[in-house]
Homo-oligomer: A and B are copies of this chain.
């Protein structure tokens, strides 16, 4: 318990979190501080590139594990399955209509890669190892949740959601997935040799770049929060805190079942707990244009993301370490 608090404090006072807080504060205070769109997009390409490559190189180093397939499968199942829980909760807890509830649910089945990145950097600083292929699990979890959400909508209103071949291809081949999986594959192919060649680009400056990116995320989240003040009910906000706790518990179960390491279990919890704010929102604008974007963006980026970043990650890491044990 003391350990959790200790971990939480260390986490809260890390530069990474503090820059996020700075961003939120600056946006709420209406400062004109801003990161150019091109820079934000590039920082996010960098993070995908680095995290994918490092995951692949680590798989190359530690060998492929029987658990890899099980983990990928678990990821797909979780992503399909979590939206149903989220949808049920939303319909019970909040007054969101079917469409908005389904759109929100899609976000919680999918994942936030920055939350994942932040968690790996906490694990690293705690010297806790994790399976390199968890980054591939992250990629597997991006898309299935969208299908579940559209199915939930279609059940209620036959012409509610639009899913067609084009959209399916767009979702499966969206830039984040392609870069993450591609870098993972290249990392796996080129291994330690490849990693050494580019380590001073993707390893050494990583945390610093993450700080800058989280400053931007804080600015965007803070701007969003300023906009929606008072438009979203407390019950809806409560969902955005409850759902990651439920998600992470289910993720914990899957992680233990598969027999992952403490770090792997923690990451499985983080993935299940996190909510998408890039790929899914774009898909929702195409497939469910009538759903209100400010609801799902606020919950995912404005509430769940900061919750996971500050409280969630240290909690999941502590729980996973306590149950699995860190060697």
Binding site for B on A (CB under 8 A): 13-15, 18-19, 22, 25-26, 29-39, 41-42, 45-46, 49, 53, 125, 169-170, 173-175, 178-179, 182-183, 185-186, 189-190, 194, 197-198, 200-202, 204-209, 211-212, 215
Contacts and interface: CB of A to CB of B under 8 A. Distances in A.
Contacts of A125: 197
Given A32-B173, A173-B32, A178 B26 contact: yes
Main secondary structure of the interface of A (DSSP, over half): helix
A211 B200 CA distance: 13
Given A14-B190, A169-B30, A178-B26, A45 B212 contact: yes
24 contacts: A13-B189, A19-B182, A19-B186, A22-B183, A25-B182, A26-B175, A29-B173, A31-B175, A32-B170, A36-B37, A36-B41, A39-B39, A45-B212, A46-B212, A197-B207, A197-B208, A198-B205, A198-B207, A198-B208, A200-B208, A201-B204, A201-B205, A201-B207, A202-B208
Contact of A42 (B13, B25, B36, B204): B36
Q: How many copies does the complex hold?
A: 3
B26 A182 contact: yes
A276 B194 CA distance: 28
A194 B215 CA distance: 16
B175 A32 contact: yes
A15 B190 CA distance: 7
Contact of A190 (B18, B22, B49, B170): B18
A175 B25 CA distance: 12
A15 B197 contact: yes
A278 to B, nearest CB: 12
Nearest to A26: B178
A204 B173 CA distance: 32
Among all A-B residue pairs, the 10 with the closest Cβ atoms: A201-B208, A33-B175, A200-B204, A198-B208, A36-B38, A38-B38, A201-B205, A31-B173, A22-B182, A39-B42
Given A14-B190, A39-B42, 12 more contacts: A15-B198, A22-B183, A26-B182, A30-B173, A32-B174, A34-B175, A36-B42, A39-B45, A200-B200, A201-B209, A202-B208, A204-B205
B211 A198 contact: yes
Contacts of A204: 200-201, 204-205
A100 to B, nearest CB: 26
A267 to B, nearest CB: 20
Nearest to A200: B204
A15 to B, nearest CB: 5
Contacts of A198: 15, 205, 207-208, 211
Nearest to A191: B13
Contacts of A36: 37-38, 41-42
